[in-house]
Each structure stands twice: as structure tokens, then as C-alpha cells.
Amino acid sequence: MTTFSISDEFYLDQKPFKFISGSIHYFRVVPEYWRDRLEKLRLMGCNTVETYVPWNLHEPQEGQYCFDDGLDLRRFIQTAQEVGLYVILRPAPYICAEWEFGGLPYWLLQDSNMKLRFDYPPFMEKIERYFSHLFPQVNDLQYSHGGPILMMQVENEYGGYANDKNYLRKMAAAMQTAGVDTPLVTSDGPWHDMLENGSIQDVALATINCGSKIKEHFERLKTFHGEKKPLMVMEFWIGWFDAWGDDHHHTTSTEDAVKELTDCLAQGSVNIYMFHGGTNFGFMNGANYYQQLAPDVTSYDYDALLTEWGEPTDKYHAFREVIGRTVTLPAFPLSTIIKCKGYGALRAEARVSLFATLDTISQPIKSNYPLSMEQVNQATGYIYYRSAIGKARKIEDYRLINCMDRAHTFINDQLVRIDYDHDLGKTNTLDLTAEDNALGILVENMGRVNYSVHMNHQYKGIKDGVIVNGAFQSEWTIYPLPMDNLSAIDFSGTWEAGQPSFSRFVLNIEETADTFIELPDWGKGFVTVNGHNIGRFWQKGPQKRLYIPAPFLKEGENEIIVFESDGVTGEEIIFHDQADLGPRQ
């Protein structure tokens, strides 16, 4: 019988075992490239792959479950086993990961009393129901059943959020009830009270997350353990993520990372975060909020060992050399041929204003007051509110009450102002000059906060209402715009400069390859390629080009649709053979 256990050390089939692992998030990589990324991890000398599991993708609407195509977690794990890798699975309902709402599904917020990540019975009931669908996908892939899964994690960095030990214990028990018999771990920062808050040492091994001073932090972990237990950095941060508005693409020192990796392997085990970051396709980037909103860019390159598009970096080769001092490095040919290609510039074949096609892409809702995205069963994207506000006059008090994250105000379909983050809720004035006037408000969900206390206040759109001259405005028509049905756009409609719009391009190619799209002189929006939402762009950077993996393309005609929200529409788009993530640090 195969066994994996944790006592004074990790033991695999009764023999001491050292994790040399790397993080790959299957949901940030097209499934056609899973094997390539896993093979490159194995070739670097790693014996394990670690991945999070995003609840919000696997249960996008309450009671609807997805475990196929790019969400086929089972196939990802089986592929890892075929490549020769063990697996650390981190299936906690909360994953952080710089991911939309930290992996929590938006519909949790439809309970106005919801207490996230606490022993709140309705929250626990939803987790247990989700676990009853998730774990049957992977239970027989645990090592004790002949599969590659060696460990699973309870929650994630919980000590940086709260210290509800009843919640943690019930989480562990729920996993075990659902069929988990693999050893459990927790992971927390080694600072402040995080280890004390987030650990349940009689149930799960405590591990740490950090990017430097590993010798020092291992001493802290030894003291915390109180007895001899294996030391592990569950997230060895070797890079960092970028937010819109950063002045550079974050990179870290290879020399410093190599030193820390060497120190880590000398005393314990490691999981490299990230080995391969991948891409925040669609609207799935998360955000941080400290002094201000900081939504993450589309690329999750992370200055990882493989680039966003899967190319080994100098850091990869340096890490491989260090790992080669500990294990014998494998050698085998890669099974996937990947090319990068530039396809040149394209001009739009059709263009239509959002307002001219609203009724073809959205079913309007009538309400006396604005409804948030959550109230109309919408997770991400945009939402548009329209109301008649009467005759010509000066509006001295115009306010959006409890509105997030970015709002465009229109009078008679003409853009008046754009408000973002701290500006939302402030008092402004409007000048109405027409005989009859319509107020329109387009609100974008820029990505729900994925870490810390602001997670409790992530209602998107307008939650409370709109003040017009001191009073709440009523009688609204609301258009949910998740932007998941762009085939319904009516490009025969009118286009007017300065309005939000859709532009359609046709790319004819003879060979598919990875490529990178640049949108010179465009403002802000997102791009779809043959129906695949490849993510957001924003002229403020730092990211300048979006990654398009070859599996999203086909030989012959490819349809590219660009939505631009700010009325800043360029004349062309350009396909390059190289990325541009912005100036390096």
C-alpha cells in the first residue's frame, strides 16, 4: 500500500521526502498547454506541482457546477501524474491568488447577513454542498488511492484574516467528511499573530508563506511547532503582481531568490510561487485595497520562472542549477510545439455604440431603485442604469451612493464624467440643457478585492442609489452587461464618437501561433478572440499588450471584438510576436 505521512519529517512510502514544488494555476493556462508547463516544471527538477482551486469558476451560479474543458481539474492532476509529478491541492473556498473575490463566488453576497470565512451556518452549508461536488472529482487521485495528491490545504492564509478556530476545524472536518484522507496543511505569513491565528496544529501541519529571510522565518516556525516537524515554505514568493497604474512591471532579483531557495532546501521543503503565473483571462483579476483600489492587470506573469506565455527565464535556469545540487535532473523532450508570431496591423470592419445595441445584448430590468450586480445575478463585467431626469436645469447635488468601482455618467448618451474609487460618492453638479433629459450610468466591476477586510464590502454596481438634487432618483431601467454574449451585437447600428463602443476586426491567418495584441491610442476595455475573453486593457498601463494563446485562434478567419468604455477608440490593433508588460523595475 502506498502511504504519505507527516511526523518529524515528510515520509513517502516510509522514506523521508522533500517537496520541491512549483505553483501552476490550471485555470490561468489553456488546457492545451497544461502538459507543456508541467513538463517544464519536471525538467527543472521539481517533484510536485501545487494548484489552487477557484470556487467561483467551479460554481459560477449557485448550484451550477463546471468541471470540464479548462476547468477539468481531474485531467490536470492526471496529466501531472503522467509527467511524473506529485500534487499539493489547495481547495479552500478562499484562495486569494490575486483572483476575483479571492475565489469566492459573488452570489454569497446575495445573503445580506453573510459572514465570509467564519463559522456562519449558511456559509458553512454552502461550502459543504460545494465540497460534495468538488471532492468526488479528485478523491481517488489521492496518494492512498494510487493517485498523485500528497497533501491538501485547509483554508488559505487565514491568520491574516481572522482567528475563528471553530471555522478552521469545521473546514477540515468538512473536507474529511467529503472523502479527504490525505494529510492536511495550513499556510500563513510568519509575522505578527498570523501563525497563531491560522493554524490548527493537532489537525494540520503549519507552513509559512514568504519571499525572503527564510532562515529567520524557519526559526520562527520551529519555535511555533514546539517539536520536530518538517519545515516548509508553502509559497516562496519569487516575484510579484502588477496593478493598473503601477509605473513598472514588477521584477525581483534572481541572485536574491537563488540564495533564499538554497537556504530553504538546506533545511526543508519548498513550493515556488509562482513557477508559472499565466493569465487573468476574462474579468477574473482580483484587486487589493489599502489606501486605494488597486485592481490587478490581465497578465499574471509574476516575474515567475516561466513567463506568462510559458518561456523559461534566466531565473528558471538559475533555479534548475540549485535544484540539481539536491536531485538528479531529468531529461526528456518537450511534447508541445509552441510558436510566437506577429500578424501585423488591422483596421476595424464594423463599429457600433453600446447604446445602439443595448437591447440586443441585455434584457432590461425595470426597478424603482438601482440594483447591484449581485441583485440581478451578475458576477462580473458592466451594468448600465438609465432614468429620465426631466427638464433643463442645473443639478447642484449629484451623487452615487455606495457605488463601486468605476462609473461613467452620461446625459442623453453624451459622456459627462468618469468617477473612480475615492471620487465615487462625492457631490458633483450637472447642467441639463435639453428639453427632456436621460441620465445614464455605466458601472464596471474592476475585480472584487481578494485580500483582507475589504472583502466584506464587494457589492458591485450601485447598491444604494443615485441622488439628484438632494433626493433619491427612482424609475430605472437596468441593463446587466456580463459581456458573455457578444455574438448578439448588432453591428448595423450607429456609432458615435465619444461613446462606449464595440469594434469588430477579422484576422485571416494561415498558421496559428501565440501572439500579443496591442491597442495603440485606445482607452480602456476588453478584447475577445473567437468568443474567448482574453482580458482587460487600459492605456494607463503598465501592461501594453495582451496575450493570445494559439488555441484561441484558428486557420482562416478569426473574429476580434474590442469593447472600449471611455470613448477613446483607436484606428487599428496590432499583433506582435513579443509581449510588452511595461517598463521593468
Element containing residue 127 per DSSP (H, E): helix 121-134
Element containing residue 215 per DSSP (H, E): helix 214-225
Residues 6+ apart with CB under 8 A from 219: none
Nearest to 389 by CA among 434, 356, 442: 434
- How many angstroms separate the CA atoms of 275 and 381, rounded? 29
- Computed from CA positions of residues 334, 304, 545, 287, in that sequence, does the dihedral angle turn out positive or negative? positive
Residues 6+ apart with CB under 8 A from 434: 392, 411, 412
Residues 6+ apart with CB under 8 A from 224: 195, 196, 199, 206
- How many angstroms separate the CA atoms of 53 and 232, rounded? 21
DSSP for 274-304 reads EEE--B--TT-B-EEESSSEEEB-SB--TT-
Residues 6+ apart with CB under 8 A from 24: 34, 37, 38, 41, 49, 50, 51, 274, 275, 276, 278
- How many angstroms separate the CA atoms of 519 and 429, rounded? 33
Give yes or no: 157 in active site.
Answer: yes
Catalytic residue among 39, 98, 155, 157: 157
- How many angstroms separate the CA atoms of 153 and 271, rounded? 13
Other Cβ atoms closer than 10 A to 73: 22
Give yes or no: 510 in active site.
Answer: no
Catalytic residue among 235, 444, 518, 564: 235
The Cβ-side half-sphere exposure at 497, using a 13 Å CA radius, reads: 2
Find out whether 177 and 198 touch, Cβ atoms under 8 Å. no
- CB-neighbour burial class of residue 464 (10 A; exposed 0-12, middle 13-18, buried 19+): middle
* Residues assigned a catalytic role: 157, 235
